[in-house]
Structure 1
Amino acid sequence: MPDKIYGVNLGSWLVLESWMLPAEWLAMGGQSCSDCSQCIATEFAFAQAYPDTVDQKFEQHWESWFTQDDVDQIAAAGINTVRIPLGYWIIEPLVNRTSEFYPRGGIKQLQRGLSQLQAAGIVAILDHHALPGVQTAGQMFTGHCTNDVEFYTEYNYHRALIWTAVMTALSHLDPNFGSVFAIEAVNEPIMDATQTPGYGTFQANFVKVVRAVELILGIPVPGIQLDVPVNTSNFTYALGDVTNATTLTEIFNDEVKSALEDAIPILAEIAIELAIPTIFNFELEEAPCHSNPEPLVTNFMDVNWQFNNPPNPAAAAIGPQGYDNHLYYSFGGVADPNPDAYLTSICNLQRVQNDAAVGDSPLWFGEWGLPTQFNATDDFLFKWADAQKLAYSQGAGWIFWNFKVEISQLAGDLARQWSYLEGLRLGYLTQDPSQVHDSNVCDPYRNNGTSTSTGTGTSASTSTSAGISTSASDSTPTSNGTLVRKRHGHKRQRIH
């Protein structure tokens, strides 16, 4: 993990969000509509509509949306980290093909991209962005716009744990995955914790699955040791042998054991597809688990993402763990829609401190951007970029959404505030990501009050429509407790 993260998301690559590439999407055969559940606006709907051509169409997209030229530009921009949004369907055996519809072939593209990034010296977070059963209603980023949210069930928690076991093994055994330093469990779960039953147990099991795989590989996990020997160099055999023999129930509980057992045939299949000999002989000298025997950083959205007595992911930590927070001002509920209110809010942000107080540290801001609710001038966007970078750098760092968006007549001015590479070209973002244009940009705005949001403040932790939970010291919700967010051009509602 870098000392300070300066990153970009590789959004719309392996989880396509059609608002980000409107012209390409229409050319592929997709559609645009105000309610993404009512037309061909997502990968699920596309695969359902075009079962015979979906794999070919998406291979063309994957090859063209993220290329060696993009890697070169990202590296030239001084970026040291990428967050890669992934759907559960990238592990194809997890998909129920009778009721779930997604393109095939993404795992090879992930391997290709990670190899290119590693050669450029850029490290990666594998972000489980779109979960089995869908984790949030009505969102393109889940791969399936629907109000039928079923992730928070034993069946889909289990599928997510199998995904976790496979990704952890690949991260240690495929040399192409050698720059992966973290796996994020769930992108943007429902914010109301009363609607996410069992999520705390899932968090604990997610960490245990990661650490179980690492223990079997011989990677040191702080404070934990296997109680049985590993007597084979074939990882899939070792996974089964240890899982069946160990009495280390603090890691290998029944659900973790079941997930590991279900991962074995999937890993064997993927090892052949991706030509990974270390799956079958993880004692090979070139195996990354020998050249870099470090445990992965387990990664969660921070506890303040949710409200109504959420589980604290810090309670699940075993070994290194990091926390993610997302902040967009452009969807309302954070600050009044004017430049002074935005700058006063961001310059007095207390998210890093509030999270640290409950053990959620290190914290990085895994999504943010330059969009606003008003017509921002160039002069404001210089300040807005500086102020956000200064705020987020108080923690472990930041990851901009997105590395790029489509530049086309149909996309209009979208790239000006959503594309890191375009923001860099326009000068809002500095060539050295660790620097800002004006380190004193916040001086006129600090301590000008504790809240600039609409509505009345409380002393309790609250949740904003920007997809962030906050304390009243930096933002409060609308007075009726209902906030409506339009993220990335489509509707998101948060009611609490």
Structure 2
Amino acid sequence: MALAVSVAAFLGLASITSAWMPGNKNITASDGNDLFARTSSPQPKAYPSSDSPWGPNIGKIRGVNLGSMYVFEPWLGTPAWQAMGCGGYKSEFDCVSGLGQTKANSAFQAHWSSWITAADFDQMTSYGLNTIRIPVGYWMDESLVDLKSEHFPQGGFSSLKQLCGWASDRGLYIIIDLHGAPAAQIPTNPDTGQYAPTGGFYVDYQYNRATTFLSWLTTQIHSNAQFRNVGMLGIVNEPVRGGSQAASMCSTFYPNAYNAIRDAEQALGVHNTDALHVQLMNDLWGSGDPKAAMPSDATLLAYDDHRYLKWSPDVPVSHASYIKTSCNDDRSSSGEDPTIVGEFSLSVPDNVQWSSGWDPSTQQDFYRKWFLAQIGSYEKNAAGWIFWTWKSQLGDYRWSYQDAVAAGVIPRQLGSISTAGIC
């Protein structure tokens, strides 16, 4: 049953927050500029349905991930990790446990204040980017953390609010993605926030904690002006592929997460034009059909695809093969519209990445063409793309959008992109 909300309260809420997808409404910066209105090539495709929430001929998602901001992956930023005093640890969980809560809080708060700043968003928009994707962990809702057995930095939510406020002021569309699920959705990977020996997420207790987090975050988004450009929640990043755990997730967690987000919005009286898109990993990811157990009346679903040829054994490792594959790469699946390619990079298999034919210091022309081939397909066949990641400390532009622009591999102005002569 819908909760009663006064008209005055609803209007007051609507005046401070609009959580939507590009196409529903204009996404404007505080100076009035709409980053999605830029003329660009390749041209956006016209969606077949005129009442699509994305609308016809809307500019595509062109974004970057904020990797290692709130879920630190030590391989991406080893100098920063060491400077925090975490150099001997594999994950945030391990570092907080080792340093102790008070010392770790200070170290992580210093990291949050310096890794991504307002100046980064100015640079992103100057390059023609219009979207950011922010990986977070469930521990941002500190009430969910068992302090006796779980160890995560505290204070991240205040930083997240400030960050989203900066991005909203600049007209960037914001996707927040649950990268770190309770008990970890995959083992031995710091992109879950913990180097867990097993993926313990796939039980009802952990599902319930994750849905509680998503409900809480939804309420925060619709209640704080800093989050006004957040229009999408990714409900879990890169879960297991196949097997009983994936089946359990699709049948239980996915519909429960969707309902938790919608129930939180209903409790606040959020109109459906301001509702968040709920994003699931797409069918191509391999965890099963994400739509199979969703409510029949589910609306505003979106889909996340991750495309790394680096880890695609079916693609021959050659320049010609990579260009051909990317030029013809259709990442759409039936009934999964819109799909966003939420992660991709310019990295290649470890065994060849520093060989003469793939060396980034001499092969800039190949990497420039490959980037354009990838994004051309992701704009033609999907709703757009989000590069992994904005910055790194690897000294390797193949994982850093910022460094790739500086190297001349990614165009400084995306409005000038063209795949002519490449595809």
TM-score (norm 2): 0.80
The 1:383–1:417 alpha-carbon spacing in structure 2 relative to 1, beyond 3 Å, is: same
> Which residue is equivalent to 1:40?
89
Identity of aligned residues (%): 32
> Which residue is equivalent to 2:374?
388
> Aligned partners of 1:193, 1:97: CA distance in 2, in Å?
32
Q: 2:263 aligns with which of 202, 212, 217?
A: 212
Q: Does 2:35 match 1:49?
A: no
> Aligned partners of 2:341, 2:330: CA distance in 1, in Å?
13
The 1:150–1:178 alpha-carbon spacing in structure 2 relative to 1, beyond 3 Å, is: same
Q: Which runs of 4+ in 1 moved over 4 A?
A: none
Q: Deviations over 1:350-387 (max 9, x none)?
A: 322xx1x2x11110100011111232411101111110
| Partners of 1:300 and 1:313 within 8 A in 2 | no
Q: 1:422 aligns with which of 377, 387, 403?
A: 403
The residue identity in structure 1 corresponding to 2:390 is: F
> Aligned partners of 2:420, 2:265: CA distance in 1, in Å?
42
Q: 2:308 aligns with which of 303, 328, 335?
A: 328
> Which residue is equivalent to 1:367?
343
> Aligned partners of 1:434, 1:168: CA distance in 2, in Å?
33
Question: How well do the aligned residues superpose, as a CA RMSD in angstroms?
Answer: 1.7
> Which residue is equivalent to 2:36?
none
Q: Deviations over 1:394-432 (max 9, x none)?
A: 2110000101112xxxx3x32x11111111122221233
Could you tell me which runs of 5 or more consecutive residues in structure 2 were left unpaired when the two chains were aligned: 1-20, 23-57, 353-357
The residue identity in structure 2 corresponding to 1:27 is: A
The 1:424–1:313 alpha-carbon spacing in structure 2 relative to 1, beyond 3 Å, is: farther
The residue identity in structure 2 corresponding to 1:380 is: F
> Which residue is equivalent to 2:392?
405
The residue identity in structure 1 corresponding to 2:187 is: A
Q: CA deviation at 1:180?
A: 0.3
Q: CA deviation at 1:211?
A: 1.2
The residue identity in structure 1 corresponding to 2:182 is: P
> Which residue is equivalent to 1:90?
140
SS of residue matched to 1:393: helix
Aligned pairs for 1:167-206 within 5 A: 167-200=217-250, 201-206=252-257
> Aligned partners of 1:56, 1:45: CA distance in 2, in Å?
16
Q: Does 2:413 match 1:438?
A: no
The 1:80–1:314 alpha-carbon spacing in structure 2 relative to 1, beyond 3 Å, is: farther
The residue identity in structure 2 corresponding to 1:121 is: G
| Partners of 1:77 and 1:433 within 8 A in 2 | yes
The residue identity in structure 2 corresponding to 1:40 is: Y
> Which residue is equivalent to 1:11?
67
> Aligned partners of 2:313, 2:416: CA distance in 1, in Å?
29
Q: Deviations over 1:423-475 (max 9, x none)?
A: 11222212333542433311xxxxxxxxxxxxxxxxxxxxxxxxxxxxxxxxx
| Partners of 1:193 and 1:310 within 8 A in 2 | no
> Aligned partners of 1:63, 1:371: CA distance in 2, in Å?
28
Q: CA deviation at 1:311?
A: 4.5
SS of residue matched to 1:196: helix
> Aligned partners of 1:41, 1:439: CA distance in 2, in Å?
44
SS of residue matched to 1:23: helix
| Partners of 1:382 and 1:437 within 8 A in 2 | no
> Which residue is equivalent to 1:239?
none
TM-score (norm 1): 0.69
> Which residue is equivalent to 1:23?
79
Aligned pairs for 1:37-436 within 5 A: 40-51=89-100, 52-200=102-250, 201-221=252-272, 294-306=274-286, 309-312=288-291, 315-316=294-295, 318-352=298-332, 355=333, 357=334, 359-373=335-349, 374=352, 375-376=358-359, 377-394=363-380, 395-406=382-393, 411=394, 413-414=395-396, 416-436=397-417
Q: CA deviation at 1:335?
A: 1.3
Q: CA deviation at 1:329?
A: 1.5
The 1:438–1:196 alpha-carbon spacing in structure 2 relative to 1, beyond 3 Å, is: closer
The 1:94–1:69 alpha-carbon spacing in structure 2 relative to 1, beyond 3 Å, is: same
Q: CA deviation at 1:219?
A: 2.2
SS of residue matched to 2:309: coil
| Partners of 1:6 and 1:434 within 8 A in 2 | no
| Partners of 1:365 and 1:392 within 8 A in 2 | yes
> Aligned partners of 2:206, 2:420: CA distance in 1, in Å?
46
The 1:436–1:347 alpha-carbon spacing in structure 2 relative to 1, beyond 3 Å, is: same
> Aligned partners of 2:124, 2:263: CA distance in 1, in Å?
34
SS of residue matched to 2:409: coil
| Partners of 1:424 and 1:431 within 8 A in 2 | yes
Could you say which structure has the larger radius of gyration? 1
The 1:81–1:21 alpha-carbon spacing in structure 2 relative to 1, beyond 3 Å, is: same
SS of residue matched to 1:18: coil
The alignment of Structure 1 onto Structure 2 pairs a total of residues equal to: 353
Relative contact order higher in (CA < 8 Å, ≥ 6 apart): 2
The 1:7–1:136 alpha-carbon spacing in structure 2 relative to 1, beyond 3 Å, is: same
| Partners of 2:281 and 2:290 within 8 A in 1 | no
Q: CA deviation at 1:170?
A: 1.1
> Aligned partners of 2:346, 2:83: CA distance in 1, in Å?
28
